[in-house]
Chains A and B, each alone.
Chain A
Amino acid sequence: MPFMSRKMKNSLFGYLFIFPALIGFLLFYAWPAGRAVGISFTDWNLLSEPYYVGLDNYVDMLEDDQFWNGLKLSAYYVLLNIPLQVMLGLFLAVAMDRLTKSLFVKAAILLPYLLSNVLVALVWLWMLDPILGIVNSLVSFFGLTPQAYLGDPDQALVSVAAINIWRHMGLCAMLFLAGLQTIPKYLYESASLEGVTEFQMFRKITLPLLRPVMVFVLVTSVTGSFQIFDTIAVTTAGGPLDSTRVIVYYIVQNAFSFYKMGYASAMSVTLCMIMLAYTLLQMHIMRASESDLN
């Protein structure tokens, strides 16, 4: 009998290959997530010892209007952000696929995503400044009424969404472009011989065959958007009048402004569960693990 069976050896090699990534995952994701679950059952202000309070934090959370408002704002933000971001990304991808192979165009479209979140937020904060910003200068130049954007409770969340659409659509476009390039060209040739129009091809061939990429884009961008924090921290700090106090911003406030680590953890764990449920549902509905290609 050899020391290890061939199957065991193969598994061992597999684990060896993912070992570096596994360390990062365990250290920075799994362990803190586990800790958060533990802390969520305690009352802890970082200074004194945490003490066990059972489900009190979860009960408080369900009765907290600010929590529900944060969730509502985050959901609203996702609705503002995702459809447009995905549609623009898809449009850019199809346009690039059909019209250009230029590396320069691809780089230009991806560039906003390569800038740091904070930098993008700062640049747009200046550009959207109601008095000094270039956006209002252009608006005035065309004879339109200047707006307050990030300073207006009705416009602040929409403005944050616009900033992030600008930043993320390039990445969406690249992901869709990669997906488009896996669809064989002969399918379109065959359809064109059958008199199928370009739009019909897009709807009946391209979209269904992009499904696995679409799942990936939707899951990552929806969960990412639901956790919007940095742009808001830089541009509005949750204001004006709490109009951008989304759930993650509220969690961070509870943890590091109010020092309610247990309560913040309870909300984090809840948010994580919501995201997990959404991801599983989305992947199930869109049959994420199967591709029609191959």
Chain B
Amino acid sequence: MANITLKNVTKRFDKLETIHSVNLELCDGEFVVFVGPSGCGKSTLLRLIAGLEEITEGVIEIGDKNMNNIAPANRGVAMVFQSYALYPHMSVRENMSFGMEMRGESKENIHTRITKASHILQLDELLDRKPRQLSGGQRQRVAIGRAIVREPDVFLFDEPLSNLDAELRVDMRIQIAQLHKKLKATMIYVTHDQVEAMTLADKIVVLRAGHIEQVGSPMELYHNPNNMFVAGFIGSPKMNFLPALISDIEADNSVIVAFNGQKILFKIQSDKLSIGDPVTLGFRPEHIHLAKQEDGFHFDITVDVAEHLGGISYLYSRFENNNMTIEVSGENVLTSGDVLSVGIKQSDCYLFDQAGKTLIERVLPNR
């Protein structure tokens, strides 16, 4: 069993606290992605789990065993580094066998494990090459191979694809997903790329400034972000935000939101709201229609830049002083300076209070 529990984990570097009392439960065999902007503490959290950094306060358990004072090598974890961390003077085979040889494993065992791992990752042809003779993608596969031969309970990936070009990233992303299916091990994956997070994760942990903002499945985070930060971070292009007002509060948690001279009724918790409170209306670029919607808001925007990608276009536009992005499917001839009337359905709207906390609990679509 390789479930992982973090209880009040805090990390301070001298006086600077970078991880603030984090609590987290990860189940055995889950693919968990830590995501957040640079400096949010996601890599530090991973290194704390690996044992490469000591925790200042709290407890880390792997498989229900306290790992606080256990050396990295004895935690049953293997890590794939952003920079690959391949030993440059060793061949691919030596890179994979080094740890096992140093631990005194039998030659037969080493050979079997390397053969198995190189077969899974299609490294058979490359075993005698040095890292400098490999491409970025091949190096990353070797780094993963080195982790596989350890047969760990937990795989830790620290931004493993960030040094690869876009096409290779997609390839490697698929390979990592297949690997997870095959090995069924617990995997923790750190990235700042929310597309990687959405496509790989069973569970996403969104971090900001050393705090966990939200934990949930990709679709939970997409449909029910706790706050504006998560809403803005999950989804690509990011969610648009526009200012609105509470114009009236009725019984049964019925709140009327006013935006651009239009009023729409939302069923939300109204206890803490007052008439006249400013709120933020959120809507995703893919939910904006180039036509007025029956049950929603509509307004006029001016296109600043139009990016035509073939199947879809992104219109980087303005509404009053607010920037917004609109996704349009199909081919079109829209261009800079065009003024368009757009609409959003009420069911596609997100609503946040003044502190940025969500006001709407949305129902997840059934699979």
Please list the residues of chain A having a beta carbon within 8 angstroms of any beta carbon in chain B: 184, 186-187, 189-197, 200, 204-205, 208-209, 292-294
Q: Residue B52 contacts which of A189, A195, A197 (CB distance < 8 angstroms)?
A: A189
Which chain A residue lies CB-closest to B74? Answer: A195
With A186-B81, A187-B87, A208-B89 already in contact, the answer to whether A192 and B102 are too (CB < 8 A) is: no
* Chain A facing B: main interface SS: helix
Residue B311 interfacial (CB < 8 Å): no
- A to B CB contacts below 8 Å, 16 in the list: A184-B85, A186-B81, A189-B79, A189-B81, A190-B85, A190-B146, A191-B98, A192-B71, A192-B72, A193-B78, A194-B78, A194-B150, A196-B98, A196-B99, A204-B98, A292-B89
Residue B301 interfacial (CB < 8 Å): no
CA distance A194 to B78 in the complex (A): 8
In the complex, how many angstroms separate the beta carbon of B129 from the nearest chain A beta carbon? 13
Contacting A at CB under 8 A, from B65-119, are: 71-74, 77-79, 81, 83, 85, 87-89, 98-100, 102-103
CA distance A184 to B87 in the complex (A): 10
Is B150 a contact partner of A190 (Cβ separation < 8 A)?
no
In the complex, how many angstroms separate the beta carbon of B54 from the nearest chain A beta carbon? 13
For A205, the chain B residues whose CB sits under 8 A away are: 87
Is B52 a contact partner of A193 (Cβ separation < 8 A)?
yes
CA distance A272 to B98 in the complex (A): 43
CA distance A196 to B146 in the complex (A): 14
Is B78 a contact partner of A204 (Cβ separation < 8 A)?
no
Is A193 a contact partner of B73 (Cβ separation < 8 A)?
yes
Is A195 a contact partner of B103 (Cβ separation < 8 A)?
yes
Which chain B residue lies CB-closest to A193? Answer: B72
For A194, the chain B residues whose CB sits under 8 A away are: 73, 78, 98-100, 102-103, 150
CA distance A205 to B78 in the complex (A): 19
State the 6 A-B residue pairs at the shortest beta-carbon distance, nearest first: A194-B99, A195-B73, A292-B89, A190-B85, A292-B88, A186-B85
Residue B256 interfacial (CB < 8 Å): no
With A190-B79, A196-B102 already in contact, the answer to whether A293 and B50 are too (CB < 8 A) is: no
Q: Residue A187 contacts which of B51, B74, B85, B99 (CB distance < 8 angstroms)?
A: B85
Q: Residue A204 contacts which of B81, B83, B102 (CB distance < 8 angstroms)?
A: B102
In the complex, how many angstroms separate the beta carbon of B79 from the nearest chain A beta carbon? 5
In the complex, how many angstroms separate the beta carbon of A245 from the nearest chain B beta carbon? 43
CA distance A7 to B51 in the complex (A): 53
